[in-house]
């Protein structure tokens, strides 16, 4: 593997730093892979996840670029948001799309690539999706734990819990009934009473409302549209309609899996049916946490990704 530190400018003239990794054999694929920084993390990602992925992908013959967005890692620029949730929201609304497009332009000129696959965890995944809406040379997205919601310091997360998340929290509270420390947290105002209230309200309504009315009203959903990112669905369908390939991989212990199902799939199920299994692949790694911290979860994700890459992006550079 040939590994080279690189720099290039974004549209505002800031210098972005990255690492270009290239295969040294004759397996060079026509598609280059860009790793997009997750949230405030730099190009290595939590537990060096991106390093492990890139080594594997370069071994398969792909050229890989890992780089830092402006204001992160080694790149120039500043992050001025005072609240982390507000920074996350700006990312979910496309903060780093221009940096991604600048990276594509640099790769196109310097490495002579014209087909690109974007990948990233969380904020990197949503950045990749929104970037793909802007550039048809992006023919694939490998999104790990992609968010479908908007964060923000003014967003009340307790009002927007999915049914799956609430059920998981409820089971957790039941297990803690006989735990003195949990009662101490409750009595000393350290618990999130809004979440507890919403769970109680849901259970009371289920007892008071008839099964027929419950099915009609679908009361298991809790304000599912309030914090849904309006940019998500249009970007997904624009990719699918031009036959770009998407692979979403979620973690079984992560609320993002439930949010994807309840705030996107349930609303567009009929439209999604025509793409399932071909242009769109979705899978969940059981019990994994958001950052895939254990080697067994990382290995399963890489195995799933490798199979998907082999099926859709296996052509060599001409």
What residue spans define the domains of the chain? 2-153+227-312, 157-217
Task: Kindly compute the dihedral angle of the four CA atoms of residues 216, 219, 221, 223, in this order, to the nearest 10 degrees.
Answer: 110
Higher pLDDT, 217 or 159: 159
155-170 mean pLDDT: 58
Identify each DSSP E strand in 112-193 by its residue range. 115-121, 138-144
Whole-number percent of the chain with pLDDT over 90 = 69
Residue 2's Cβ-count burial label (10 Å; 0-12, 13-18, 19+) is: exposed
pLDDT in tens, 31-53: 999 999 998 888 999 999 999 99
Residue 191's Cβ-count burial label (10 Å; 0-12, 13-18, 19+) is: middle
Distance separating the N- and C-terminal Cα atoms of the chain: 20
pLDDT at 186 (0 to 100): 52
Lateral strand order in the sheet of 280-285: 2-9, 15-22, 63-67, 31-36, 115-121, 138-144, 245-251, 280-285
pLDDT at 192 over 90: no
The band of 276, judged by pLDDT with boundaries at 50, 70 and 90, is confident
Thinking of the domain 2-153+227-312, which architecture would CATH place it in?
3-Layer(aba) Sandwich (3.40)
pLDDT at 39 (0 to 100): 84
- Contacts for 261 with CB less than 8 Å, ≥ 6 apart: 162, 164
Enter the tokens of residue 158: 């307790």
pLDDT in tens, 212-227: 444 444 434 444 447 8
Enter the tokens of residue 196: 């507890």
pLDDT at 247 (0 to 100): 98
If we measure between CA atoms, which residue out of 309, 311, 318 comes closest to residue 33?
309
Enter the tokens of residue 91: 């990312």
**Token pair 């003239």: residue:** 13
The winner for highest mean pLDDT among 2-16, 184-198, 204-218, 264-278 is: 2-16
C-alpha to C-alpha distance for 81 and 179, rounded to whole angstroms = 39
289-309 mean pLDDT: 97
* pTM for this entry: 0.82
pLDDT at 139 over 80: yes
pLDDT in tens, 46-84: 999 999 999 999 999 999 999 999 999 999 999 999 999
C-alpha to C-alpha distance for 250 and 272, rounded to whole angstroms = 18
């Amino acid at each position: 593997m040939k590994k080279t530190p690189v720099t290039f400018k974004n549209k505002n003239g800031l210098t972005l730093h990255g690492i270009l990794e290239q295969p040294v054999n004759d397996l060079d694929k026509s598609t280059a892979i860009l790793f997009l920084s997750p949230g405030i993390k730099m190009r290595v990602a939590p537990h060096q996840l991106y390093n492990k992925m890139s080594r594997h992908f370069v071994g398969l013959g792909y050229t890989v670029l890992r780089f830092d967005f402006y204001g992160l890692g080694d790149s120039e620029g500043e992050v001025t948001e005072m609240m982390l949730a507000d920074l996350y929201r700006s990312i979910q609304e496309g903060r780093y799309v221009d940096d991604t497009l600048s990276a594509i332009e640099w790769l196109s000129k310097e490495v002579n690539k014209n087909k690109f696959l974007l990948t990233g965890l969380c904020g990197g995944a949503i950045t990749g999706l929104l970037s793909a809406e802007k550039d048809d040379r992006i023919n694939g997205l490998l999104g790990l734990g992609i968010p479908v919601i908007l964060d923000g310091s003014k967003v009340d997360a307790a009002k927007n819990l999915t049914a799956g998340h609430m059920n998981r929290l409820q089971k957790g509270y039941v297990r803690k009934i006989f735990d003195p420390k949990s009662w101490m947290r409750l009595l000393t105002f350290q618990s999130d009473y809004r979440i507890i209230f919403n769970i109680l309200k849901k259970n009371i309504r289920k007892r008071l409302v008839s099964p027929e009315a419950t099915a009609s009203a679908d009361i298991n959903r809790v304000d599912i549209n309030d914090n849904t990112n309006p940019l998500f669905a249009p970007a997904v369908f624009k990719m699918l309609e031009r036959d770009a390939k998407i692979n979403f991989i979620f973690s079984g212990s992560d609320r993002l899996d439930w949010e994807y199902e309840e705030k996107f799939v349930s609303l567009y199920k009929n439209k999604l049916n025509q793409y399932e299994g071909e242009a769109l692949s979705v899978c969940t790694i059981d019990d994994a946490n958001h950052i895939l911290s254990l080697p067994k979860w990382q290995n399963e994700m890489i195995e799933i990704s490798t199979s998907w890459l082999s099926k859709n992006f296996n052509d060599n550079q001409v």
